[in-house]
Amino acid sequence: MIVDAFVYEGERMELQCRLYELQGLVHRHIAFCKEQDDLDRVRKLRSSEYPLDAFPFTDVESVLRQFGDDDMFVYSDAKCVPARAAVAMEHEEPIVLMTPRLVYSMKYAVEKPVFGAVIGKRGQLKTRTFEGVGVARRSYLAYPDGGWTMNWFGGNLTILKGFENHPEKAMRMKAREVAETYPREKIGPDGEMLVSYTGPVPNWYADGHAPNSWDLTW
């Protein structure tokens, strides 16, 4: 069994990317949510198409007890979307995915890759709650081009925070406006220089479903 377990903090675009990219490949998606609103929202998305469930972040340990040591886990924040090839390959030892940080509709990337998802059997990860996975990522074998870390709109959660009380349509319009104007500066949200992205593209992007063009009806 392959389980996609991720920490989710309310960004629907990241969730939509993740579900679409891994569709039909993993047996279960499990979102660990820190806020009750996010928990309720994700639970409404359960379907046969996306075997998705959600639990409070405080329940990580009890949820993991449901699985055996040989069950394969993909674990990351929701925005660290693993590539299908990295998830599907045989892993004798745990690996950490090296991922470029993509900004603004796949147009730009930060040159320095970051450590994204960790993939390994539950028993190999040697932590009951996965709390130590992030700290230990550098100790795992690095797998290049293992996916993408999404930073839409210069860290869209930060920008959209100011619009949290606005209607959803207005939020989307403002986010797209930022996405169209900010890239021309070629300066990232933290002041870093951006470079044009020429690497592998995600499954959803290759199929023409770039997240900026999606109508988020969830």
Please answer whether residues 115 and 98 qualify as being in contact, where contact means their C-beta atoms are separated by less than 8 angstroms: yes
Query: What one-character-per-residue DSSP string does 37-92 give?
Result: HHHHHHHTT--SSS-EEEEEGGGHHHHHTTS-TTSEEEEEETTEEE-HHHHHS--S
pLDDT of residue 29: 94
Residues with Cβ within 8 Å of 63's Cβ and at least 6 positions away in sequence, in order, are 30, 32, 55
Q: What is the pLDDT of residue 209?
A: 65
* pLDDT recorded at residue 152: 56
Q: What is the pLDDT at residue 30?
A: 94
- Over the chain (218 residues), the average pLDDT of each successive run of 10 is 91 81 92 90 76 91 89 91 92 89 75 86 76 67 88 48 53 56 58 79 75 52
Question: In the prediction, which pLDDT does 180 show?
Answer: 52
- How much is the pLDDT for 105? 62
Cα separation values, 178 from 56, 172, 212, Å? 32, 10, 11
Q: What is the pTM of this model?
A: 0.80
Residue 204 has what pLDDT? Answer: 77
Q: What is the pLDDT of residue 158?
A: 45
Q: What is residue 139's predicted lDDT score, i.e. its pLDDT?
A: 78
Q: Cα 31 from chain centroid?
A: 11
Q: What's the residue count for the chain?
A: 218
Side-chain half-sphere CA neighbours of 212 within 13 A: 18
Amino acid identity of residue 137, one-letter, is R
